[in-house]
Structure 1
């Protein structure tokens, strides 16, 4: 193609660069494409040879020749010798017009100053999304910006966010509810059998299988003691029917008493010992308290799923103050409740729910060994099947290469911020659709609070500079300014005393 000259229009000034857009006239239509690679023609040294990715097409306006009525996909391809022209700012504004689709504006299209970049909300949530970026690139603020825009658009929505660092509570103080170890009150009996095993079974190998069999039998007996079980046609170990921990302990003791050999009692002793440890540990009281034995399932789901939302559509689940060894189970229970609720509420008026997982590589790791298998399985299932039932998944991570293989490819929209690790860059490149390949070389060079967006949530792949977020709506994720903080002195003794008190009481 001819080398494209620039002028005052910043889009035209970028014309011909890798990642820029070009247009080609075919009949009365414009074909829009992205430049993927560039090379100098060795024969003439005057022309550039480019590989391009076709993005979509639009009609040609008669008077100005500009693009209008743009749509994704190409029906007719240009012939060799077709003239190549740069896409102007006016063209870009038409390409990114909403065309009556529900959308949220998140920033400006690079390198323009006025062309607004927007996400199509229904497409973004209907087919899942992932926000990726290295530490310090503005990932948390970008996440808060997107969720705030969604909440502003749909104040009666239903969003559940897992916050492992306690960053987002302050950001959503005015339009959400924050739940942590102090007020979550997650009933233990809502766990299914697999989650019970992760909490109560500590053995490995053949002994683990034996302990799980015993727990299944005793758990079913404990659930059957509840009067709610009488009205159920079929009761299983997975049925969310309340039971008493004391009943489970007593049943284990009774079953152990029926055995003749002392060696056969070891599995029962292991389970009873673990059960007693959980009951006695105050760190687990948010889940295993004796006050959580009532049938509170309806009120708990209403609270966590924001049904009704009452203008506060997002629940922030702060897991930072919970014991690390049980965090996976808490996330597993919440994710499974969302998915099961969606399945069993079919036939009712659908209430779609968005589940956002910060630090998603913790819960869906590429390594299949180790703890947290229940949360991995349910999140993988939501990624594969959730959209059929109105469950949307938002994955936020700084290490996409540590995610389970295939999960990222289930995300219809990918927002990629700067990634410093080459392995992460290659992983994201493999997950991005063909039409966005021209942008990929820019990922290591993106500035803070910039990203490449591609997939279902945008008209065409785009480089976006995020809007500034109001200070009151920002997450508590700012890096400490060492030189400034180290200049301050005084009050260290009182600060240490307060810290130790919170440390010992395991509270905020």
Structure 2
């Protein structure tokens, strides 16, 4: 006889039902149910979005339907779930019903088999991320091609389990022999190991340092690294970079310093060095007459300061080493200054995008031959909302990848606990969203406005999610579902510290 019967007025989009006595424990929010369409008798799938408790003083409409209902009810109070209609199973997934649902119709729990069929993904091309929050027996898989090529976002407040969830996604991609780069700001992925996949960790100091090709940097990158430059110093830097681009195929910070030394010697009236012979006399005169000795000296000192950071070089770390099939490359930024982190992210993202574009457009290969997913932790720091007058070195290339990466096999996974600080263009291009607990109203509203697949119903559910639960919505899954993220197989970092426990142990 099912778990209940439809009561009240129904529409093609929602209906209500009263729960049969003794079945109350089976019906909860986010549970999937079925009911027959009035004319065709086809099963209509719906999901419980709310449950109200009504009493004997029901509206006439309720009272009439309850008298018709073939259910024995307890005197007093009646639980009445509200169901959102999802559709009727078809060859193409779900299609909305064309006929109504009659009051008095029997409501059943949707079978696991039905849910498995509707949520089914192509075997071998899907990633197992967890199970339905309401049923451990229904596995949730996402389409890997959709998740990577059309980008994804993992959004949650601090402590809700973002990095843990990203770890699950990475585990699944490594099973597919994926090429994944993770920009790790807090060292939360450093302990990941796989039996049948490689892991390479790049640091910003010490062993295995990630090196950035200076030739790949833009003028704005230098400005970001040296924010206190005066206007004349900035103008001089533009001139020096112009000379380097014009007269050198490749250059590093030492090359830029030598150009400044040439200008400095001319301003001081000293004998020209051999380096000065690289440049036509009229070009040097044009540059030197615009600046004073103190300006040149100040820029030279700042250039040496950049050299001492130890992450800038002539050729940089070859990206063909960073991007490899069946390899997770972790860029450990936990010891890096925020400005340096932005430059590293910008340079690597540019290199990967341009390398993939060269490979796709070249008839004889070259560039980077492997499709790549770039995981960006704390993405609001690297693709922030535009503020007039503010320069973000990495935002431009991240926007470009978000818009065009699909054509060249470069995917983004945007991870953030501050969605309302993310660039709206980038967020809106993420076609799959893994949204965990979010209680900040401005974050909720920003997500709703930025992502067309996120409805008010979904936003309303976000504050009530438990740790480790998410709502997955978008092109990588057949319909929005609440998911309990599965346990990780690899070691986990970044867990909350048991403060009281450590205090007690110290005693």
Q: What is the TM-score when the length of structure 2 is the normalising length?
A: 0.77
Mapped to 1, the partners of 2:225 and 2:457 lie a distance apart of 51
CA distance in 2, matches of 1:22, 1:437: 23
Report what 2:256 is aligned to. 248
Q: Does 2:305 correspond to 1:277?
A: yes
Equivalent residue for 2:328, pick from 314, 329, 333: 314
Matched with 1:501 is none
**Aligned partners of 2:146, 2:203: CA distance in 1, in Å?**
31
The correspondence of residues 410-449 of structure 1 with structure 2, limited to 5 A, is 410-433=429-452, 437-449=456-468
Q: How does 1:385-396 map to 2 (within 5 A)?
A: 385-396=404-415
- Counterpart selection for 2:130 from 93, 96, 107: 107
- Name the residue aligned to 2:180: 159
Q: Label 1:480 to 1:390 Cα distance change in 2 as closer, same or farther (>3 A).
A: same
* CA displacement 1:61-107 (0-9 Å, x = unmatched): xxxxxxxx561454x53347585844513322222222546211111
Counterpart-to-counterpart distance in 1, 2:478 and 2:347? 36
- CA RMSD between the two structures: 3.3
Aligned residue for 2:167? 144
* Alignment partner, residue 485 of structure 1: 502
Q: Unaligned stretches of 5+ in structure 1?
A: 60-68, 230-241, 491-508
**Normalised by the size of structure 1, how large is the TM-score?**
0.77
- Which residue in the other structure is 1:456 paired with? 475
User: In structure 1, how many angstroms separate the alpha carbons of the residues matched to 2:380 and 2:322?
Assistant: 23
Q: Is the 8 A contact 2:132 2:484 kept in 1?
A: yes
Alignment correspondent of 1:57? 88
Identify unmatched segments of 5+ residues in structure 2.
1-5, 8-16, 66-79, 267-284
C-alpha distance in structure 2 between counterparts of 1:416 and 1:362, whole Å: 19
Aligned-pair distance for 1:381?
1.4
Q: CA deviation at 1:301?
A: 1.2
Q: How many residues align?
A: 442
Contact 2:127-2:142 at 8 Å conserved across structures: yes
The separation in 1 between residues aligned to 2:502 and 2:344, in whole angstroms, is: 36
SS at 2:135's partner residue? coil
State the distance in 1 between where 2:344 and 2:156 align: 25
What is the SS of the residue equivalent to 2:61? coil
Larger radius of gyration: 2
Contact 1:164 1:359 in 2 (8 A): yes
The DSSP-based 3-state class of the residue aligned with 1:316 is strand
Residues 100-499 of structure 1: pairs in structure 2 closer than 5 A: 100=123, 102-152=125-175, 154-155=176-177, 157-172=178-193, 175=197, 176-181=199-204, 182=206, 183-194=208-219, 196-198=221-223, 201-203=226-228, 206-207=231-232, 210-221=235-246, 224-225=247-248, 229=249, 242-256=250-264, 257=266, 258=285, 264-279=292-307, 281=308, 284-285=309-310, 287-288=311-312, 292-293=313-314, 295=315, 300-306=318-324, 309=325, 311=326, 313-347=327-361, 351-368=370-387, 373-433=392-452, 437-470=456-489, 473-489=490-506
How far 1:197 moved relative to its partner? 2.5
Pick closer, same or farther for the CA change 1:56–1:212 going to 2, 3 Å: farther
Judging changes above 3 Å, is the alpha-carbon distance between structure 1 residues 274 and 138 closer, same or farther for their aligned structure 2 residues?
Answer: same
- 1:32 matches 2:45: yes
**Structure 1 residue 192, shift from structure 2 partner:** 2.6
Shift of 1:458: 0.9
Q: Is the 8 A contact 1:57 1:70 kept in 2?
A: no
